[in-house]
Amino acid sequence: MIRLVQALVLLMMVATLSGCGYNTIQEKDEAVNAAWSEVLNNYKRRADLVPNLVATVKGYASHEQQVLTQVTEARSRVGSINVNANDPASLAQFQQAQGELQSAISRLLVVSENYPQLKADQNFLQLQAQLEGTENRITVARQRFIRAVQDYNTTIRRFPVNLTAMMFGHKTRPNFTVENEAQIQQAPQVDFSAPAQPQTPPQQQAPQQQPAPSNG
């Protein structure tokens, strides 16, 4: 009899938790974790391409030491960050470091435009293609992570699921921010103080006078 009561109580608790969104919270939390793992995998894929890229460029443009050093140091900073996706400050630091690495790689690719032999190197062309594909993967992975976090945060803030979330300590998770947020928030400067210079119409030529007829 006691076991039967315990079983009934357990079933009631499971039904209550399910109705209050407990299982939904777990599913969406796992979706966020899976999306974050995809983000990390693609960022690591890009970082793994950097040493070969630097070595290839160095073979043709060894005197571009400043740019080569910047890429290497940016990659080192990325590798030294132990990111915690649940900590907004840690996620922001990770995003900044990844943005710096992307910028350094872009500068390196710009420098390569000055070396025709490097641009024709098959290894370099292959690395370029892999980088382009990886950047596309990163963009897709970030978008999926952003959507997953938004879905999770919306769910745990909606009544009555928010009561279950508070009971079990589930909080909203930080998300990626716009990388060029400062530029977006700054309105472009337009100067209307200097009036436009009026265009001078082309001078019309005076009509040529016809010679007067002679009286003969």
What pLDDT shows up at residue 202? 41
HSE at residue 178, side-chain half, CA atoms within 13 A, is: 6
> How does pLDDT run across 5-47, given as a tens digit for each residue?
444 434 444 444 455 789 999 999 999 999 999 999 999 999 9
Per-chain mean pLDDT for the chain: 81
* Among candidate residues 162, 103, 169, 96, the one with its CA nearest the CA of residue 135: 103
CA dist., res. 115 & res. 110, Å (int): 10
For 46-52, the CB contacts below 8 A with 24+ separation are 46/101, 46/105, 46/131, 46/134, 46/135, 46/138, 47/75, 47/78, 47/79, 47/101, 49/127, 49/130, 49/131, 49/134, 50/75, 50/101, 50/105, 51/75, 52/123, 52/127
Helix crossing, 88-112 with 22-60: angle to 10°? 30
Q: In the numeric block, which tokens belong to residue 6? A: 């315990």
The continuous run of DSSP H or E covering 131 comes out as helix 122-157
Kindly state the average pLDDT of the residues 197-201.
Answer: 40
Q: In the numeric block, which tokens belong to residue 50? A: 């950097």
What pLDDT shows up at residue 20? 76
pLDDT at 107 > cutoff 50: yes
Dmax (CA) for the chain in angstroms is: 146
> How does pLDDT run across 117-169, given as a tens digit for each residue?
999 999 999 999 999 999 999 999 999 999 999 999 999 999 999 999 999 99
Helix crossing, 65-80 with 22-60: angle to 10°? 160
pLDDT band at 105 (very low <50, low <70, confident <90, very high): very high
* Among candidate residues 179, 29, 166, the one with its CA nearest the CA of residue 91: 179
Q: In the numeric block, which tokens belong to residue 83? A: 């990111």
